[in-house]
Amino acid sequence: MARVMAPEEFRETGPVAAARGLLGKVLVRTLRGRRTERVITEVEAYDGERDLACHASKGRTKRTEVMYRPGGVWYVYLCYGVHEMLNLVTGPADCPAAVLIRGVAGIAGPGRLTKALAIDRSLNAAAAHPDSGLHVEDHGVVVPRRRVRATPRIGVDYAGPVWAAKKWRFTFDPAKLPESKQRVRRVARGFSPRPGTQNAG
């Protein structure tokens, strides 16, 4: 049921598909023996050098170097001199792209999220693996496509009308997941619900 996602899994798709796929997955922070887990509810995709909203549009620099690595590593940077932003690098090597984790269940806002989970730049370039203290798990939460809202990314007007208008921000409301109905539907199809499993898929 709770399956640890391997870094390699984030090398298979581009950032838009990866972003959609991360909705409903669980962000797991392990620090000093304390484990915190939150369902990912809000993400944004940043797609390569052509995407003028993506830091990689500046090319390969000290800061963007991590995005050129194979997916499955964290890209954490400081924004406005105040807030740490958490991204997951996606895609194969030399295709600089990432997914910004903007929100989790109960926490809206990328800055608040990193503060709450004690995430900072010391995790930059670390693997999304339990060893690093920050990884992703699949708890079988199913987010129906109709529940996903695609809207323009936040705070990227500087990227110009074309790239700022891309609807690459994806959100869903976990409260609207009718898990009981899904279970019923599943039972009707001949599956038996497992105790403690939320929307097993």
Residues in 157-196 at the binding interface with DNA, rule: CB under 7 A: 158
* Burial status of residue 82 (CB atoms within 10 A of its CB: 0-12, 13-18, 19 or more): exposed
100 counts as binding DNA under rule CB under 7 A: yes
62 counts as binding DNA under rule CB under 7 A: yes
Written as one letter, the residue type at 69 is R
In the set 14, 17, 105, 112, which binds DNA (CB under 7 A)? 112
Q: Which is nearer to DNA, 98 or 141 (CB)?
A: 98
* Burial status of residue 9 (CB atoms within 10 A of its CB: 0-12, 13-18, 19 or more): middle
Residues in 27-46 at the binding interface with DNA, rule: CB under 7 A: 44, 46
14 counts as binding DNA under rule CB under 7 A: no
CB 193 within 8 A of CB 200: yes
CB 148 within 8 A of CB 170: yes
In the set 41, 64, 90, 198, which binds DNA (CB under 7 A)? 64
Least CB distance to DNA at residue 109 (A)? 2
Least CB distance to DNA at residue 96 (A)? 9
State the DSSP code for 19: H
